[in-house]
Chain A
Amino acid sequence: MNKILLIIQREYLSRVKKKSFLLTTFLVPLFFIGMYVGIFFITKSSFEDSKAIVYVLDNTKEIGKQLKNTDQITFTESAEDLNSQIQEIKDLKGNTNILLIAEDFFKTHDIQFLSSGKPNINTQSDVEAQLETILLNYQYKELNIDADKINTIDTKVNTAAKEITETGEAKDSDTRIAMGIAMGLSVLIYLSLFLYGAQVMRGIIEEKSNRIIEVIISSVKPFQLMMGKIIGIGLVGITQFLLWIILSFTLFTAATNTFINKEDLQNEIMQNGAQTEGAANADFISNISTAMSSVNIPELLISFFLFFIGGYLLYSALFAAVGSAVDSETEANQFTMPITTPLLLAYLLSFGVLINNPHGPIALWLSFIPLTSPIAMLVRIPFGVPTWQIALSFIILVAGFILTTWIAARIYRVGILMYGKKASFKELIKWFSYKG
Chain B
Amino acid sequence: MLDIHNIVKQYANHKALDDVTIHIPKGKIFGLLGPNGAGKTSLIRIINQITAPDSGKIIFDGEELNSSHIGRIGYLPEERGLYKKMQIGEQMVYLAQLKGLKKQEAKEKIKYWFEKLNIESWWDKKVEDLSKGMQQKVQFVATVLHEPELIILDEPFSGFDPVNAQVIQDEILELNKKGTTIIYSTHRMESVEALCDHIALLNKSKVILEGSVKEIKDKYRNQSYKIEYNLKPTVSSILTEHELWKNIEQVNNEPNTLMIQINEGKTLNDVLFNLMPQIEVQQIFEIVPSMHEIFIDKVTDKK
Contacts and interface: CB of A to CB of B under 8 A. Distances in A.
Given A6-B97, A220-B98, A436-B52, A211 B86 contact: no
Interface stretch (B27-35, B69-77, B236-244, B246-254): B69-77
A222 B48 CA distance: 12
Contacts of A435: 52, 54
A214 B51 CA distance: 11
Interface residues of A, number: 25
A430 B11 CA distance: 9
Q: B interface, by DSSP: helix, strand, loop or mixed?
A: loop
Contacts of A357: none
Interface string A201-224: 000000100111011111111100
B53 A436 contact: yes
A3 B80 contact: no
B194 interface: no
A6 B54 contact: no
B11 A434 contact: yes
A417 interface: yes
A211 B11 contact: no
B163 interface: no
Contacts of A14: 83, 85-86
A210 B82 contact: yes
A419 interface: yes
Contacts of A222: 50
Interface in B30-54: 45, 48-54
A216 B98 CA distance: 8
A226 to B, nearest CB: 14
A335 to B, nearest CB: 20
Nearest to A212: B81
A176 interface: no
Nearest to A6: B97
A10 interface: yes
Contact of A430 (B12, B45, B51, B97): B12
A101 to B, nearest CB: 75
Interface string A416-436: 010100000000001000111
B84 interface: yes
Grouping DSSP codes into helix (H, G, I), strand (E, B) and loop, the A interface class, with mixed when no group exceeds half, is: helix
B99 interface: yes
Contacts of B95: 215-216, 219
Contacts of A434: 11-12
Contacts of B54: 435-436
Contact of A6 (B53, B79, B86, B94): B94
Given A3-B98, A430-B12, A435-B54, A218 B48 contact: yes
B85 to A, nearest CB: 7
A429 B53 CA distance: 20
A216 B143 CA distance: 11
A417 B83 contact: no
Contacts of B12: 430, 434
Contacts of B75: 214-215, 218
A117 B109 CA distance: 80
A419 B41 CA distance: 13
A215 B77 contact: yes
Of the listed residues A212, A217, A219, the one surrounded by the most CB atoms of chain B closer than 10 A to its CB is A219
Contacts of B67: 221
A149 B77 CA distance: 95
Contacts of B99: 219
Contacts of A211: 77, 79-81
A11 to B, nearest CB: 11
A216 B79 CA distance: 12
A10 B95 CA distance: 11
B300 to A, nearest CB: 28
Contacts of A214: 50, 75, 77, 79-80
B158 to A, nearest CB: 12
Contact of B51 (A3, A7, A419, A436): A436
Interface in A211-265: 211-212, 214-222
Contact of A419 (B53, B79, B94): B79
Nearest to B152: A218
Nearest to B79: A211
B72 to A, nearest CB: 12
B142 interface: yes
Contacts of A419: 79
A379 to B, nearest CB: 39
Contact of B81 (A7, A210, A219, A413): A210
6 contacts: A6-B98, A210-B82, A215-B80, A218-B70, A220-B98, A419-B79
Given A211-B77, A214-B79, A215-B82, 13 more contacts: A207-B83, A211-B80, A211-B81, A214-B75, A215-B77, A215-B80, A218-B50, A219-B95, A221-B67, A413-B51, A417-B45, A419-B79, A435-B54
Interface of A: 3, 6-7, 10, 14, 207, 210-212, 214-222, 413, 417, 419, 430, 434-436
Q: Which 5 A-B pairs have the closest CB atoms?
A: A436-B52, A211-B81, A219-B98, A214-B77, A210-B81
